[in-house]
Structure 1
Amino acid sequence: MIQVDASRVGFVQDQLDPIRSGLVISGPRALRKASQLRDNGYAGALIADPAFYENGVATPEEPYLSRTDELPTTDPLGHAVQQQLAAGATAALTPTGYLRTGDIAAVRAAVREVSTREDPRVVLALPIDAGWLRSDLIGRFIEELVAAPGLKAVMLGGQLDPLASLPEALTGLARILTEVPGTALLRTDLAAFGALARGAVFAGYGLSSRLRHIVPPSEPAQSSGFADSPAVLFPELMALFLGKTLARRFAATHAPVCECVACGHRLLDSFPSNRDVRPAARHNTAVLMSWQRALQTLAAGPERQRWWQERCRAAVNRYPVVNAAIRQPNGFQVQPQLLRWSLLDPAPSAPASAGAD
């Protein structure tokens, strides 16, 4: 799935595999946009995420939230589910508030309430702080999730890259995907593929940086710098770089030629400004769809996990080669999450239903 805000659906809609992919639309305009898509004949998988967790925290008394511009309701869960399904969503996310690290009572309350619903289209949304992935908490968290019926959708909160914030974060995520049947990963980056390889039932890659993680409520968003050009996926290095960074790095040499279906032999350094947001989004999505097709040729379980690990290792090994070619020893630097995926060995076994089928 490609996770996108309502204003950018048109950037990528025609790039999606109509059977194996779909859209997750996030934000306050998600319901309206989902309804418009259905009215216009869109038949693919569709989730409308109101993203209440961006503005409020789950508590044991109120694990589910309502829109702040609506009258309070005694059943925020039922109301949210009804709205999403009425808008044409394939499945409805629970309106869970942000789950602070260690608040096991709030997690338990969300699980308990959703367990009273018998509709298989209801997906328990779990917008969790990355601190839940610590080794001293992950076991308790998994115990609560195993009791929840149906599908679960984990979304990670934290500044910048939550999976790089803790050395044990990736291992904790892998445990959830392996030990909790029916788990998905939304609002993420290239970890979407690692999740699918580890058994996620589906995953959502965020088209923009703010949709690749959750900034905890009441915290200002941290930034790695002013983004005056779009993020562009460099396939060989399996990482996103600003378009202006790619243009600068390849200024004195030939940039790689991208042969994805969206680019048609376009040079990878030709996305230097924010005027290039649309073509960059189409490039990124086309590359992701090609990776998805490759993943789905493999049997679910260890074979997919080895494929992902080998791709990550090959990418890590390409960094010094590319840097030598551009004569900049530190031109491109391996991102921590990519390195950790390259070192994470396949699990001994994986659920039979694993992986994007």
Structure 2
Amino acid sequence: MIDPSAPLPRPRSDLTEPPDVPQVLPGALSVLQGRMLLQVSPARVGYLRGQLDAGRSGLVLCGKNALRKAKRLREEEEFSGPLLVDPAVYEVRAASEEEPFPPAAEDTFAFDDPLEVSLAEQRAVGVTAPITPTGYLRAEDSDALKAAARRVAALDDARVVFAAPVDVGWLREEDAVRQLIACLRLVKGPKAIMLGGQRDPLGRHARAVDHLRRVIEEVPGAALLRTDLAAFGALAAGAAFTAFGAGSRLRHIVAPGEKAEASKGFSLSPHVLFAELMDFFLGKTLADRFAAASAPVCDCAVCRGAWALDEFASNAGERPARAAAHNVAVLMEWLRTLTAIAPGLERQQWWHERCRTAVERYPLVNAQLQQPNAFKAPPQLKRWALAAPVAAPASTNGQTPAKDQRRS
């Protein structure tokens, strides 16, 4: 539950000073600044590494053998780009006030400190920065969140990335958002927010996108990992860095003890990014929808006009690898366009317009197919399309009035 005695940041309308200047990551972490990394399982790195933009992206390894793969990338495969390892303890254990960093396995020695052990293991394989092994932070469990934040703050090490794997319920109500902000601000270094919830967490609550944007704006050093379209939205809002999940299960967290709700036919064909609609669809779904019409031909750096979107209808042959490479190639194109625009309002406006245009394309594509419900815009995309940034007017002394700083 929300702790009414905990310090809360004042509402933006009460502030007399403008928002904090975005925190610049210190030292070796500065290489992460403004990047959108790819969060990927070790087994799939080979599918997409060739499409990474070396100056704008990097890797977050997650899952079994992540440490081993990181060591191999550094020592044998000559990968010199930004590299993180997400311990992902939140997949199997929830945080508590007593154990904000719970052991991932039951056979862990009682005298081992899971936090110290994990940080040491990550540093040993050459990561850019270690990520804390935080347990899942259930909605409004302020005791667990504060315990985790205070423990990391006590390290007094801005080179440690504090993982905040929070249930999306934290973004539902104003009081919970304010407390989340207050707790995250206790930590000196970067904060890697990850959202929990089935399928599309940000589509579950009406104000989740607006509240996420507020957290990014008001928490210095805030990052967003293990996510989807929100990686771009957060980067546009000023996040220190983000990470887009290279697979559907790496675009959100499923709370410990819950079974992931998967799309039917998932094992039959790969997920394919339909750039025009800004969403992923099963290759078989695309083939079925375009069975009686010409499917769009992709001009990304992988497809190069030789592959149409209906050619990923099965997992046979090279299709899974090509689909993964296609997805990353499209994402890198978007990333290059976004980062070519100056940070601030102009970049936010580009993102909003991109989402709005995609939402408007859905009925047009459906009309061309003569299938009214062939494709449906996902709730999160519609929320980003509605979250228009607003330029705050300058006051008479040249300063932006604090009451007008909020855009959501």
> Normalization by structure 1: what TM-score?
0.95
Distance in 2, Cα, partners of 1:211 & 1:184: 16
Distance in 1, Cα, partners of 2:67 & 2:234: 27
Is 1:177–1:183's contact at 8 Å kept on the other side of the alignment?
Answer: yes
Match of 1:122 among 148, 160, 165: 160
Identity %: 53
**What is residue 13 of structure 1 aligned with on the other side?**
49
**What is residue 354 of structure 1 aligned with on the other side?**
none
Q: Give the C-alpha shift of residue 163 in structure 1.
A: 0.6
Match of 1:46 among 83, 105, 111: 83
**What is residue 235 of structure 2 aligned with on the other side?**
196
Count of aligned residue pairs for this structure pair: 350
Q: Give the C-alpha shift of residue 27 in structure 1.
A: 1.1
Distance in 1, Cα, partners of 2:155 & 2:313: 49
Q: Which amino acid aligns with 1:65?
A: P
**What is residue 356 of structure 2 aligned with on the other side?**
313
Is 1:28–1:50's contact at 8 Å kept on the other side of the alignment?
Answer: no
Query: Equivalences for 1:1-357 in 2 at 5 Å?
Result: 1-40=37-76, 41-68=78-105, 69-135=107-173, 136-227=175-266, 228-265=268-305, 266-275=307-316, 276-346=319-389, 348=391
List alignment gaps of at least 5 residues for structure 1: 351-357
Is 1:66–1:72's contact at 8 Å kept on the other side of the alignment?
Answer: no
Distance in 2, Cα, partners of 1:339 & 1:67: 37
Q: Deviations over 1:8-63 (max 9, x none)?
A: 01000111011210011101311011001001211011111121110001111110
Is 1:57–1:100's contact at 8 Å kept on the other side of the alignment?
Answer: yes
Distance in 2, Cα, partners of 1:85 & 1:347: 42
Q: Which amino acid aligns with 1:87?
A: V
Q: Deviations over 1:224-251 (max 9, x none)?
A: 3231211110111111111011111111
Q: Give the C-alpha shift of residue 340 in structure 1.
A: 0.4
Distance in 2, Cα, partners of 1:178 & 1:192: 14
Q: Give the C-alpha shift of residue 286 in structure 1.
A: 0.2
Considering only CA atoms, is the larger Rg found in Structure 1 or Structure 2? 2
Q: Deviations over 1:81-125 (max 9, x none)?
A: 111111111111101000011111111111111112233320000
Q: Deviations over 1:191-220 (max 9, x none)?
A: 110110011111111111111111100111
Q: Give the C-alpha shift of residue 337 in structure 1.
A: 0.5
Deviation larger for 74-83 or 310-319: 74-83
Q: Give the C-alpha shift of residue 348 in structure 1.
A: 4.9
Q: Give the C-alpha shift of residue 347 in structure 1.
A: 5.5
Q: Give the C-alpha shift of residue 67 in structure 1.
A: 3.3
SS of the residue corresponding to residue 339 of structure 1 reads helix
Is 2:39–2:244's contact at 8 Å kept on the other side of the alignment?
Answer: yes
SS of the residue corresponding to residue 232 of structure 1 reads strand
Distance in 2, Cα, partners of 1:83 & 1:193: 30
Q: Deviations over 1:160-201 (max 9, x none)?
A: 111111112111111111111111111111111011001111
List alignment gaps of at least 5 residues for structure 2: 1-36, 393-399, 401-408
Q: Which amino acid aligns with 1:134?
A: R
Q: Give the C-alpha shift of residue 74 in structure 1.
A: 4.1
Distance in 1, Cα, partners of 2:358 & 2:330: 15
Change (3 A) 1:346 1:73: farther
Is 1:6–1:27's contact at 8 Å kept on the other side of the alignment?
Answer: yes
Change (3 A) 1:85 1:9: same
Q: Which amino acid aligns with 1:125?
A: A
